């Protein structure tokens, strides 16, 4: 009993369709073989008969009636197997020579060719004979033919072989289709079962692979990679939510405490103004945090890609570096800028400016007095590279992937002002522009590079 699920599967329908197409191809091929074989044997028989007719006609024209009768008797005597058929009659169809007892009954088709079934008195079996009738001068009638019983048997054997071949093709194709469908259905059921378990909350469940490297294994690997990415994103959302709650609780508590203290006793106008200014400053910090989160979210979702234009990266880097050069000088930092001319990339100018500003802000913030900051822009064949290097404390290699996460801050920078979103925004901008973000040692310090893809040819 074939399971209903298997009968309803698309794989079985595809197998049946493939089997039908293959069966039709086999039928056409076998039909061609049959017609070619049978046609060849039939043409060979007709050519033999025509040759005999032509020879007998020549004998009649040279030797006359008596000579023709002698030739026919000679041929009949030599044909021990009786494969040839001859009959010569007068105008009343009275036999004169040949191995037929009487004139055969046939329907004249105009061409003289006909098939007849003759009784074999020796073997008591009917013989199939292919014959041709023609009229000799003097109103003598004659038929010449060949026994085609063996040919008919061969044709029947060929036809039987073709029918059985087609039947076996259909049966084997059907069995193969069922087995293939059953195998594919099992593989798909494994994926469906794992998917249902994941939908029911088992997020650690993964689709198993067989190690065959086939399309099902590749599908399972892609789905597992997608699930891993979803889990990472969900963990990221939870982590961001926890970080937001943790990092924003302090400013909100300070705002509330300041307002409560201002209401606890009567203050002067200057004291109220100071409290309000401090409150506004705290709120501005919160707004900056939320704006940074919104910018990161838009960049990671690709929403900013619709605003892409050709950005003059040389001019952009020069403008941002010019803004931060006075800050570096105030902190007694050497500030070097080396920009290749005429470098352009497709992108969002505002987001690229903000990313470079974050890199320079961190460099100025963490580089001690007497250090150096370098901004470089190169245009190698592999694509433009924008880099900011400093001589600060740097970031240990094992922590470089951590600082790219939202609100991530190393212990050494806990007391430094900031929200921990600067490098997260840089990473989001790099992802949006399909640029590689590299954090490397500057010996001493840190070198951060944005390597953009090359311009399309």
DSSP for 173-208? HHHHHHHHHHHHHHHHHHHHHHHHHHHTT-TT----
pLDDT over 50 (residue 414): no
Quote the pTM value: 0.49
Count: domains in the chain: 3
Q: Which helix (H) or strand (E) holds 405?
A: none
Is there a domain that residue 182 lies in? no
| pLDDT score recorded for residue 412 | 47
Do 443 and 308 belong together in one domain?
A: yes
| Interatomic CA distance for residues 143 and 49, integer angstroms | 10
Q: Is 350 exposed, middle or buried (0-12, 13-18, 19+ CB in 10 A)?
A: middle
| pLDDT score recorded for residue 257 | 79
- CATH number, domain containing residue 245: 1.10.287
Q: Which tens digit of pLDDT belongs to each residue from 95-151?
A: 888 888 788 877 766 778 888 887 765 555 677 888 888 888 888 888 998 888 878
Q: Count the residues in the chain.
A: 457
Q: Which of 236, 268, 299 is the last residue of a domain?
A: 299
| pLDDT score recorded for residue 309 | 85
| Residue 430: C-alpha distances to residues 304, 356, 423 (Å) | 12, 11, 10
| Interatomic CA distance for residues 281 and 370, integer angstroms | 31
Q: What is the domain range of residue 10? A: 4-155
Q: Which of 136, 155, 174 is the last residue of a domain?
A: 155
Provide φ and ψ at 118, rounded to 5°: -110, 145
pLDDT band of residue 386 (cuts 50, 70, 90) is very high
Do 141 and 54 belong together in one domain?
A: yes
Q: Can you tell me which residue has the tokens 């600082």?
A: 403
Is there a domain that residue 47 lies in? yes
Q: What is the DSSP string of 269-300?
A: HHHHHHHHHHHHHHHHHHHHHHHHHHHHHHHH
Q: Which tens digit of pLDDT belongs to each residue from 324-345?
A: 999 999 999 999 999 999 889 8
């Amino acid at each position: 009993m074939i399971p209903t699920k298997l009968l309803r599967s698309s794989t079985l329908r595809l197998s049946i369709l493939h089997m039908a197409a293959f069966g039709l191809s086999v039928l056409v091929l076998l039909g061609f073989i049959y017609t070619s074989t049978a046609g060849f044997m039939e043409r060979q028989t007709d050519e033999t008969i025509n040759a005999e007719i032509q020879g007998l006609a020549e004998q009649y024209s040279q030797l006359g009636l008596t000579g023709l009768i002698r030739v026919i008797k000679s041929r009949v005597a030599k044909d021990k197997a009786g494969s040839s058929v001859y009959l010569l009659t007068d105008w009343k169809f009275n036999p004169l020579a040949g191995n037929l007892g009487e004139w055969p009954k046939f329907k004249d088709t105009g061409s003289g060719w006909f098939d007849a079934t003759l009784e074999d008195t020796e073997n008591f079996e009917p013989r199939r004979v292919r014959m041709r009738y023609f009229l000799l001068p003097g109103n003598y009638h004659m038929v010449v033919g060949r026994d085609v019983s063996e040919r008919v048997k061969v044709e029947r054997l060929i036809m039987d072989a073709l029918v059985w071949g087609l039947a076996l093709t259909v049966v084997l194709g059907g069995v193969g289709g069922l087995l293939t469908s059953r195998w594919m259905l099992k593989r798909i059921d494994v994926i469906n079962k794992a998917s249902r378990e994941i939908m029911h909350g088992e997020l650690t469940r993964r689709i198993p692979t067989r190690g065959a490297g086939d399309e099902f294994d590749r599908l399972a690997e892609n789905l597992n990679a997608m699930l891993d990415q979803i889990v990472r994103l969900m963990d990221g959302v939870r982590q961001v939510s926890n970080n937001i709650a943790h990092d924003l609780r302090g400013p909100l508590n300070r705002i509330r405490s300041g307002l409560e203290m201002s209401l606890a006793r009567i203050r002067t106008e200057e004291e109220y103004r100071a409290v309000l200014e401090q409150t506004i400053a705290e709120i501005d910090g919160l707004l900056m945090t939320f704006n940074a989160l919104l910018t990161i979210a838009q960049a990671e979702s690709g929403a900013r890609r619709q605003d892409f234009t050709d950005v003059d990266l040389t001019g952009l880097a020069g403008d941002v570096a010019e803004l931060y050069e006075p800050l570096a000088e105030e902190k007694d930092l050497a500030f070097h800028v080396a920009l290749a001319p005429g470098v352009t990339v497709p992108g969002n100018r505002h987001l690229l400016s903000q990313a470079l500003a974050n890199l320079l802000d961190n460099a100025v913030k963490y580089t001690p007095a007497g250090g150096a900051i370098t901004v470089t822009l190169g245009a190698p064949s592999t694509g433009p590279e924008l880099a900011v290097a400093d001589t600060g404390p740097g970031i240990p290699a094992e922590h470089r992937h951590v600082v790219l996460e939202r609100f991530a801050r190393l212990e050494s920078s806990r007391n430094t002002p900031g929200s921990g979103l600067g490098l997260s925004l840089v990473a989001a901008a790099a992802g949006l522009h399909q640029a590689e973000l590299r954090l490397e040692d500057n010996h001493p310090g840190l070198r951060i590079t944005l390597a953009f893809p090359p311009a399309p040819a």
